[in-house]
């Protein structure tokens, strides 16, 4: 598979919110970098991270509008969206959407690096409603 094909398969697995296929598409020493620059390393660390995130935002989805690849590097832009839930109930007023970009480095048929660039304020706004 090309780097862009691996990237698209990874996004499709994320959009299905299916942790096992997401993890199968990661290198064992996979590096995830969030939009604040925090780094998380390792497939099993990310298995827990994705499971937690999908529990918090069970309808999370990525919409890729443009993407390009240069060798193993893939860069894409689009939108990220979902609905925050503190209790498993999806409420329309807790939905959010934000422009986003992703950078991936592909190693063989796996993602070695997944970096997200997005404004998390829409999600933080939802979280704040339930704090306290």
What CATH number is given to the structural domain containing 22?
Answer: 3.10.450.50
**Smallest Cα–Cα separation from 30: which of 102, 116, 112, 115?**
112
Q: What length does the chain have?
A: 132
The total of structural domains in the chain comes to 1
pTM: 0.93
The 10s digit of each residue's pLDDT in 45-101 is 999 999 999 999 999 999 999 999 999 999 999 999 999 999 989 999 999 999 999
List the domain range (segments joined by +) for residue 117: 3-130
């Amino acid at each position: 598979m090309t780097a862009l094909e691996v990237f698209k398969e990874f996004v499709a697995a994320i959009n299905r919110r299916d942790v096992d296929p997401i993890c199968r598409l990661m290198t064992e020493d996979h590096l995830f970098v969030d939009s604040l620059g925090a780094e998380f390393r390792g497939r099993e660390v990310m298995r827990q991270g994705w499971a937690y995130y999908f529990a918090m935002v069970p309808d999370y989805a990525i919409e890729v509008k443009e993407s390009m690849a240069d060798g193993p590097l893939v860069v894409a832009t689009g939108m990220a969206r979902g609905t925050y839930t503190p209790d498993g109930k999806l409420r329309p007023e807790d939905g959010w959407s934000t422009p986003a970009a992703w950078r991936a480095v592909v190693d063989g048929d796996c993602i070695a690096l997944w970096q997200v660039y997005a404004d998390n304020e829409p999600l933080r706004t939802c979280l704040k409603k339930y704090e306290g």
